[in-house]
Amino acid sequence: MLQAPHFCHGMNLHYYKYLFFSIVAVSIFIVLLISYDRNGGFTASLLPEDLSFPAREDMLLEDVLKKAAMEDNTVILTVLNAAWAKPGSILDQFLESFRIGDRTLRLLDHLVIVAVDMEAYRRCKSVHPHCVPLSTPGVDFSGQNNFMTATFVEMMWKRIDFLRIVLQKGYNFIFTDTDVLWFRDPLPIFYLDGDFQISCDRFGGNSLDMKTNFPNSGLIYVKSNNRSVEFYKFWHTSRLKYPQKNDQDVLISIKDDPFVQEIGLQIRFLDTAYFGGLCEKSKDFQKVRTMHKLLYWPE
């Protein structure tokens, strides 16, 4: 019997290898296509199992930010733990304020809840579509973390670094504490020329004045650009210079630092008439957009 030339054997082997890998590739594509959800993103279950947990978190964050972003790449962010995520707790009141506020219901589509422990993450997934986990190896943020305890301060700095990551990914954000109630859409009130806009405990009347305005980091609107990214890096690094202070107190110490002027960051302070604070509440309910009021402290 005549045998095929040796090069034909090689071609046949190459052909079958090509056919095998083609079938595998098509199969994977079909699985991914079926698993691609209606919001335009892959579910967390499809993240590769061999990735480290931070890498999996980052891929999930990318997916959630893409789904939640407004047309101009703005997202609304809040951070919470299990103590504030329980049924009937502050999370439910926070979400309800969006549902019943004036033109705020649509903003829920752009809200991303960042959970610092798995219990909070599971609760978030049961009540809201856009949730991401934020782990800190060796630290348990799930319980009650009273103001200025070591765990509280560490959680605040974790939050600052996370917000820097969001900016680096190209997303503007409105950060809001979960104990801020949303009465009206605040977007029309923000300044067009502000890179970093922050609510106040005390508002002195001039949104540019560094001396008479006392910022409160419970609500911040930040545009993603090189200036804001550099500022968040500077803010986070400054914790080493002020080891006994929390993020808000450090901000007060650095807001008029020469470095801030050097990078050209435009800081604007938000009027408490529109963004009520813990110390200076809005007096005209027809104007108020958000109100920072601690409604519940977990036991």
pLDDT (mean) for 269-282 = 88
pLDDT of residue 29: 40
3-state SS assignment for residue 290: strand
Which residues fall within 8 angstroms of residue 228, CB to CB, at 6 or more apart? 167, 195, 196, 222, 265
Phi, psi angle pair for 66, to nearest 5°: -60, -40
Fold of 54-292: Spore Coat Polysaccharide Biosynthesis Protein SpsA; Chain A (3.90.550)
CA distances 249 to 36, 87, 93, 193, 296, Å, are 44, 32, 27, 25, 23
pLDDT in tens, 119-148: 999 999 999 999 999 876 544 444 444 344
Residue recorded with tokens 């892959």: 42
Q: Which amino acid is at 125?
A: K
pLDDT in tens, 82-111: 888 999 889 999 999 999 999 999 999 999
Residue 235: pLDDT above 50? yes
H or E stretch at 222? strand 214-222
DSSP state letter for 87: T
- Range of weakest confidence among 55-64, 115-124, 165-174: 55-64
Question: Tokens in use for 217?
Answer: 């980091």
pTM of the shown model = 0.79
